Amino acid sequence: MNIRLYILLLTIFCISCEDVIEVDVPTGAPRLVIDASFEYYQNENPVNVEGGIRLTLSAPFFDDQIPTVSDATVFITNTTDNSVINFSESGTPGFFTPDSGEFIPEFNTDYQLTVIYDSETYIGTTQLIPSVPIDNVIQGDGTLFEGDETEIIIFFTDDGNRDDFYLFDFDFNLFFPSEDRFYQGQAFNFSYFYEEMVAGEDVTIKILGIDKRYFEYSDLLIEQSEQEGGNPFQSPPAVLRGNMVNTSNPDNYPLGYFNLSEANRFEFRIEER
């Protein structure tokens, strides 16, 4: 057989065998997702609290739209004096903020978040977790595998009077959890690398105090996210259950977390090299 004819027949055969394969990604019934996070900036003047409560429904991985929840009753109770802070939906669908004034949490106080949705009651309790200031941020010259990453070095001093867990926020939805097991009470620094081009960008770097459970939750969440090359066809190693429970129907548990963090931030401009 002429070699050119053989190649042509082989090519036609391969093309004719290209079938569309449809992959079914397993989906379950939608669950309520409660993303309730507040950052308490005690070292700023004036003192302020940023954050709110976002309510959505879980959706299949490939859906473009995430359904928001508007028809819910939301409030936080200070369990020490039983005072209640009511929340209402803000201008952003599914995002709830205090009805009047600010929600200013206090240390060593239990706060209970209640969400009533679709005739079911969801409750979670947490405390305000302390943090430490960021001492300094500098830009380094180090790189990783590609050679074009941008290194920044973060300096802070851990509080030796307690066991601390931190969540670092590097802007652009980039996070890194850390615990003080190896630097208890010490001045410490570490490098973080931006893989995308960030030269000339102004970034806000934050350090948030978190408890051990939220540390483990966020560590697992980041591991399964796109930051770690998450694969939607891979079975997750664990169900990401937060600290919210459904007291009406425990089997219909929610996703998400209720977190109160003391936070400190550092504004920094990344220079071109």
Distance CA 51, CA 102 (A): 10
Distance CA 257, CA 200 (A): 34
What is the residue range of 109's domain? Answer: 32-58+66-131+233-269
Mean pLDDT of the residues in the chain: 87
Residue 147 vs residue 104, higher pLDDT: 104
* Residue 218 within any structural domain of the chain: no
| Residue in 137, 134, 148, 224 with CA at minimum distance from that of residue 193 | 148
* Residue 238 within any structural domain of the chain: yes
pLDDT in tens, 191-239: 999 988 898 999 999 999 999 999 999 999 888 876 444 444 444 445 6
pLDDT for position 234: 44
Residue 101 banded pLDDT, cuts 50, 70, 90? confident
pLDDT for position 226: 60
* Residue 70 within any structural domain of the chain: yes
pLDDT in tens, 39-78: 999 999 999 999 999 999 987 655 668 899 999 999 999 9
* Residue 189 within any structural domain of the chain: no
* Residue 113 within any structural domain of the chain: yes
Residue 127 Cα distances to 80, 86, 95, 188, angstroms: 12, 18, 21, 26
Residue 2 banded pLDDT, cuts 50, 70, 90? very low
Mean per-residue pLDDT, 78-104:
94
* Residue 248 within any structural domain of the chain: yes
* Residue 162 within any structural domain of the chain: no
* Residue 40 within any structural domain of the chain: yes
Residue 145 banded pLDDT, cuts 50, 70, 90? confident
pLDDT for position 189: 98
Distance CA 162, CA 151 (A): 30
Domain count, the chain: 1
Mean per-residue pLDDT, 256-268:
97
